[in-house]
Amino acid sequence: MSRVHCDHPPLKARRLGLFTHDQAVVIMRTDCPACHSAGLSSRSHVQVYAGDRSIYAELLQIDSELLELDTIGMSQTAWDLLGVEEGDEVEVSHPPALTSLSHIRSRIYGNRFDYEGISAIIDDVVARRYTDVHLAAFLTASATPPLDTQETIYLTKAMIGAGERLDWNKDIVLDKHCVGGLPGNRTTPLVVAIVTAHGLTMPKTSSRAITSPAGTADTMETMTPVDLELDKLKKVVREQGGCMAWGGAVQLSPADDVFIRIERDLDIDTEGQLVASVLSKKVAAGSTHVVIDIPIGPTAKVRSIEAADQLSELLTTVGKEFGLTVACVYTDGTQPVGKGIGPALEALDVLAVLRNEENAPQDLRERAAVLAGLALEIGGVAAKGEGTALALQTIANGRAWEKFRDICIAQGGLNIPEVGDHVYTVTAPFDGVVSNIDNRNLARVAKLAGAPRSTGAGIYMDVRLGDPVKKGQSLFKVYAGAPGELAYAVEFSEQAETLVDIQPV
Amino acid sequence: MSRVHCDHPPLKARRLGLFTHDQAVVIMRTDCPACHSAGLSSRSHVQVYAGDRSIYAELLQIDSELLELDTIGMSQTAWDLLGVEEGDEVEVSHPPALTSLSHIRSRIYGNRFDYEGISAIIDDVVARRYTDVHLAAFLTASATPPLDTQETIYLTKAMIGAGERLDWNKDIVLDKHCVGGLPGNRTTPLVVAIVTAHGLTMPKTSSRAITSPAGTADTMETMTPVDLELDKLKKVVREQGGCMAWGGAVQLSPADDVFIRIERDLDIDTEGQLVASVLSKKVAAGSTHVVIDIPIGPTAKVRSIEAADQLSELLTTVGKEFGLTVACVYTDGTQPVGKGIGPALEALDVLAVLRNEENAPQDLRERAAVLAGLALEIGGVAAKGEGTALALQTIANGRAWEKFRDICIAQGGLNIPEVGDHVYTVTAPFDGVVSNIDNRNLARVAKLAGAPRSTGAGIYMDVRLGDPVKKGQSLFKVYAGAPGELAYAVEFSEQAETLVDIQPV
Residue B61 to chain A, least CA–CA distance (Å): 5
pLDDT at A1: 35
Span B93-108, pLDDT tens digits: 888 878 899 999 999 9
Model confidence at B300: pLDDT above 70:
yes
Nearest Cα neighbor of A4 from A66, A44, A47 is A47
Residue B303 to chain A, least CA–CA distance (Å): 15
Q: How many alpha carbons lie under 13 Å from residue B351 in its C-beta half-sphere?
A: 19
pLDDT at B128: 86
Model confidence at B169: pLDDT above 90:
yes
The residue that leads in pLDDT, A132 or A235, is: A235
What is the rounded CA–CA span in Å between residue B228 and residue B316?
29
The residue-averaged pLDDT of B4-19 equals: 78
Extended strands (E) in B67-120: 71-74, 89-93
Find which of A77-86, A210-219, B258-267 is predicted with most confidence, using mean pLDDT. A77-86
The nearest alpha carbon in chain A to B483 belongs to A37
Q: Is A359 on the interface with B (CB under 8 A)?
A: no
Fill in the DSSP letter of residue A163: S
Model confidence at B149: pLDDT above 70:
yes
Span B438-453, pLDDT tens digits: 888 898 899 889 999 8
Q: Is A42 on the interface with B (CB under 8 A)?
A: yes
Query: CA–CA distance from A419 to each of A351, A401, B189 (Å)?
Result: 14, 21, 67
pLDDT at B181: 62
Answer whether A62 sits within 8 Å of B18, measured CB to CB.
yes
What is the rounded CA–CA span in Å between residue B502 and residue B474?
12
Nearest by CB to residue B36, choosing from A18, A457, A482, is A482
pLDDT at A219: 96
Q: Which of these ranges, A139-153, B342-356, B414-428, B489-503, has the smallest mean pLDDT? A: B489-503
Q: Which of these ranges, A174-183, B59-68, B220-229, has the smallest mean pLDDT? A: A174-183
pLDDT at A183: 67
Answer whether B93 sits within 8 Å of A484, measured CB to CB.
yes
pLDDT at A208: 83
Confidence of residue A8 (pLDDT cuts 50, 70, 90): low
Span A389-424, pLDDT tens digits: 999 999 999 999 999 999 999 999 999 999 999 999
Nearest Cα neighbor of B332 from B286, B370, B287 is B370
User: Residue A289: beta bridge partners?
Assistant: A174, A325
What is the rounded CA–CA span in Å between residue B261 and residue A326?
44
What is the rounded CA–CA span in Å between residue B401 and residue B406?
9
Nearest by CB to residue A19, choosing from B38, B60, B491, is B60
Cβ contact A120:A25 at 8 Å: no
The residue-averaged pLDDT of A479-497 equals: 89
Active site (catalytic) residues of B: 269
What is the rounded CA–CA span in Å between residue B447 and residue A50?
27
Span A420-470, pLDDT tens digits: 999 999 999 999 999 999 888 898 899 889 999 899 999 999 999 999 999
Answer whether A101 sits within 8 Å of B267, measured CB to CB.
yes
pLDDT at B131: 87
pLDDT at B37: 66
Confidence of residue A248 (pLDDT cuts 50, 70, 90): confident
The nearest alpha carbon in chain B to A447 belongs to B39
Backbone phi, then psi, for B432, in 5-degree steps? 170, -160
The residue-averaged pLDDT of A231-244 equals: 96
Nearest by CB to residue B108, choosing from A94, A140, A261, is A140
Span B467-497, pLDDT tens digits: 999 999 999 999 999 998 899 899 888 888 8
**Average pLDDT value for chain B:** 91
The residue-averaged pLDDT of A159-171 equals: 93
Q: What percent of chain A has pLDDT over 70?
A: 97
The residue that leads in pLDDT, B4 or B426, is: B426
Active site (catalytic) residues of A: 269
Answer whether A61 sits within 8 Å of B19, measured CB to CB.
yes
Q: Is A4 on the interface with B (CB under 8 A)?
A: yes
Span A264-317, pLDDT tens digits: 788 887 889 999 999 999 999 999 999 999 999 887 889 999 999 999 999 999
Q: How many alpha carbons lie under 13 Å from residue B211 in its C-beta half-sphere?
A: 21
Model confidence at B325: pLDDT above 70:
yes
Domains of chain B: 11-93 (2.40.40.20), 174-247+280-411 (3.40.1030.10), 422-503 (3.90.1170.30)
Span B195-239, pLDDT tens digits: 999 999 999 998 888 678 999 999 999 999 999 999 999 999 999
The residue-averaged pLDDT of B368-381 equals: 96
Q: Is A488 on the interface with B (CB under 8 A)?
A: yes
Q: Is B1 on the interface with A (CB under 8 A)?
A: yes
What is the rounded CA–CA span in Å between residue B57 and residue B11?
15
What is the DSSP pairing of strand B289-296 with strand B242-246? unpaired
Residue A24 to chain B, least CA–CA distance (Å): 13
pLDDT at A193: 98
Element (H, E) at B159: helix B149-161
pLDDT at A118: 97
